[in-house]
């Protein structure tokens, strides 16, 4: 291809282009077959990941039913201290959530019926709970949670939010 193509007649250039296309055709077919094979394998990988995820959630739900995972209310009632980040939080469906507002440090809101206080760790949460404060805000009981990677948030009953140590693999 280092030839000076400007001196060649048009027929010669077209013949060379046809020759290159003819040599490329089997390579393109082989590449197409390789891509199809890759797509089948990647589909199987995704299928297995979905199955493993579904099995992890089912295991978590079973652990919750068996009482192996305490609720957030149980954790706060028995806590003496520690970080809220040291735990992973799951809805009763097995789905993982984070405490507080999306993008903010985990926190728990407490109310005494009139006032609102935020606990940034389990020590503060246990103190407020022992003083008679309840999880939630005035007129809105519950724990504010959000789904990881989204801005979607909601209030959840503390009895429906289960806790496990963050380093512990799914049950």
Q: Please report which confidence band the pLDDT of residue 139 belongs to, taking 50, 70 and 90 as the band edges.
A: confident
Six-digit token string for 164: 């496990």
Domain that holds residue 23: 8-66
Whether 2 has a pLDDT exceeding 80, the answer reads: no
Which positions ≥6 away from 49 have C-beta within 8 Å? none
**What would you measure as the largest C-alpha separation in the chain, in angstroms?**
95
- 3-state SS assignment for residue 74: helix
Same domain for 161 and 79?
A: yes
Same domain for 84 and 130?
A: yes
91, part of any domain: yes
Sign (positive/negative) of CA torsion 72, 73, 74, 76? positive
User: Mean pLDDT throughout 86-103?
Assistant: 89
Q: Please report which confidence band the pLDDT of residue 29 belongs to, taking 50, 70 and 90 as the band edges.
A: very high
Same domain for 80 and 37?
A: no
pTM comes to 0.69
142, part of any domain: yes
Comparing 35-39, 63-67, 97-101, the range with the smallest average pLDDT is: 63-67
Same domain for 20 and 95?
A: no
Same domain for 90 and 43?
A: no
Same domain for 102 and 140?
A: yes
Q: Please report which confidence band the pLDDT of residue 104 belongs to, taking 50, 70 and 90 as the band edges.
A: confident
171, part of any domain: no
Whether 171 has a pLDDT exceeding 90, the answer reads: no
Whether 126 has a pLDDT exceeding 80, the answer reads: yes
């Amino acid at each position: 291809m280092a030839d000076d193509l400007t001196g060649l007649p048009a027929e010669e250039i077209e013949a060379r282009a046809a020759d290159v296309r003819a040599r490329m055709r089997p390579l393109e077919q082989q590449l197409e077959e390789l891509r199809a094979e890759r797509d089948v394998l990647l589909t199987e990988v995704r299928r297995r990941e979905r199955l493993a995820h579904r099995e992890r959630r089912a295991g978590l739900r079973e652990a919750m039913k068996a009482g192996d995972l305490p609720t957030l209310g149980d954790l706060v009632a028995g806590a003496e201290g520690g970080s809220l980040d040291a735990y992973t939080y799951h809805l009763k469906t097995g789905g993982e959530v984070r405490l507080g507002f999306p993008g903010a440090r985990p926190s728990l809101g407490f109310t005494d019926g009139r006032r609102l206080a935020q606990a940034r760790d389990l020590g503060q949460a246990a103190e407020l709970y022992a003083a008679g404060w309840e999880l939630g805000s005035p007129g809105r009981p519950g724990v504010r949670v959000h789904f990881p990677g989204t801005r979607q948030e909601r209030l959840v009953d503390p009895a429906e939010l289960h806790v496990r140590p963050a380093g512990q693999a799914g049950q």
